[in-house]
Amino acid sequence: LSQFISAPYAGQMLADLGADVIKVELPGEGKGDIARKYDPMYKEMSLYFASYNRNKRFLTLNLKTPEGQEIFRDLVRRSDGIIMASLSGFGQTGPNVHRQALDMSIQALSGFMDVTGFQDGPPTKGGPVLSDFIAGLYLAVGILAAYAYRQRTGMGQYIDIALFDTMFVLMENYPAIYRMSGEVPVRSGNGRPFSAPVGTYQAKDGKWLQISGTAEAHFEKLTVLIGHPEYIGQEGMVGAAARKKYHDKQLDADINKWLSQYTVKEAAALLDECGIPNAIVQTAEEVFNDPQVAAREMLICPRETVLDDIPVIGNPIKMSETPAEYRRGACAAGYDSKEILEELLERDEAQIAQLKEHKII
């Protein structure tokens, strides 16, 4: 009984791993999941909707009618211990329970936006939506944990997931640091608030390279590579926190000067050879064509799909015995209503036709 991103994504994760997931939507033109209406469209299928609803069966059911509610209860009765999960902006407790919530507002309220971006710029959101995906993952984890408990005890339980809570998790150790020191974390651009050197630096060809030299072993190798071995053991240069406090700007300037001699690929090769963590900042087009993405099967086309060869993002959980399967893509609302009612509730064709006539399905 979900729509948009978070809970549908959780359902898709479980469906990829073998669960029989039935997505229930209101019958009627334009009354299903709101994400079905989102552009861009291909063959009357929203690419947005297609990204979070593969491998499911689709049932329409008017839960505003007594007949629809009874059918839903009949489906639920087939469970041997009910696991019920709610996913909302702020959960089922607290003063914000009834507030509206979308990803941007959750990023703002959670503190995440205030620590993202550059110090001389405004608070900044993460690029794609974050809270929806993170909440969806936690929802799937919660369901699986409750399922394991049910397997041992036969008892179901209720799961309460809030986008706000799951986004707040990304505040790392900032609350502990604030409580300990009273220091409010500030935006640190592409660096880290308490560690150096780390950041993105521009190469000779104008492309960007992310470099991390915060661990002592990496820092020492980096100083030698960029031509400043005298920094090793120097006062204020020992420890990532000290370097951030006393030499952050100097180290950034040294790295930028060194990198200005090389293209981004040349510099990355030199850093790789020394075992220093680095990564070329890839464009969306570059990562779509990255052989690592292909090797990990992270762009997939379900076997049965209306999208032809247009890919969607695959499941990142790689399992040796029960790998994710991509049986079919997202379908029209109610696509499987007849099959579900016949298979699970033993309704005959006349009964199903009557339900359609009364707009129950």
pLDDT at residue 257 tops 80? yes
pLDDT at residue 50 tops 90? yes
pLDDT at 27: 96
pLDDT at 80: 77
Q: How far is CA 66 from CA 33, 59, 82, 223, 319, in A?
A: 21, 17, 21, 72, 43
Q: How far is CA 116 from CA 43, 105, 166, 170, 197, in A?
A: 38, 14, 17, 11, 18
Place of tokens 């503190």: 111
pLDDT at 30: 86
- 132 carries an active-site annotation: yes
**Distance between CA atoms of 219 and 210, rounded to whole angstroms?**
14
DSSP state, 239?
A: S
**Confidence class for position 79, pLDDT limits 50, 70, 90:** confident
pLDDT at residue 198 tops 90? yes
Tens digit of each residue's pLDDT (9 = 90 or more) over 99-126: 999 999 999 999 999 999 999 999 999 9
**Confidence class for position 13, pLDDT limits 50, 70, 90:** very high
Q: Enter the pTM of the model.
A: 0.92
Q: Of 303, 2, 280, which is closest to residue 136 (Cα–Cα)? A: 2
Q: Which of 92-96, 136-140, 184-188, 306-310 has the lowest mean pLDDT?
A: 184-188
In percent, the amount of the chain with pLDDT more than 90 equals 96
Tens digit of each residue's pLDDT (9 = 90 or more) over 142-190: 999 999 999 999 999 999 999 999 999 999 999 999 999 998 888 999 9
**Distance between CA atoms of 141 and 133, rounded to whole angstroms?**
12
Indicate the pairing of strand 83-88 with strand 157-162.
parallel
Starting at the edge strand found earlier in the chain, the sheet holding 278-280 runs 198-202, 208-212, 278-280
**Distance between CA atoms of 122 and 187, rounded to whole angstroms?**
9
**Residue-by-residue DSSP string for 288-311:** HT-HHHHHTT-EE--SB-TTTT--
Are the beta carbons of 335 and 36 closer than 8 angstroms? no
Counting beta carbons within 10 angstroms of the beta carbon of residue 102, is it exposed (0 to 12), middle (13 to 18) or buried (19 or more)? Answer: middle
Tens digit of each residue's pLDDT (9 = 90 or more) over 227-239: 999 999 999 999 9
DSSP state, 97?
A: T
Of 132, 165, 248, 254, which residue is the catalytic one? 132
Counting beta carbons within 10 angstroms of the beta carbon of residue 231, is it exposed (0 to 12), middle (13 to 18) or buried (19 or more)? Answer: buried
**Residue-by-residue DSSP string for 108-158:** HHTSTGGGSS-TTS-----SS--HHHHHHHHHHHHHHHHHHHHHHHS--EE
DSSP state, 195?
A: B
Are the beta carbons of 6 and 52 closer than 8 angstroms? no
Chain-centre distance for alpha carbon 147: 22
Q: Give the tokens for residue 86.
A: 């709610």
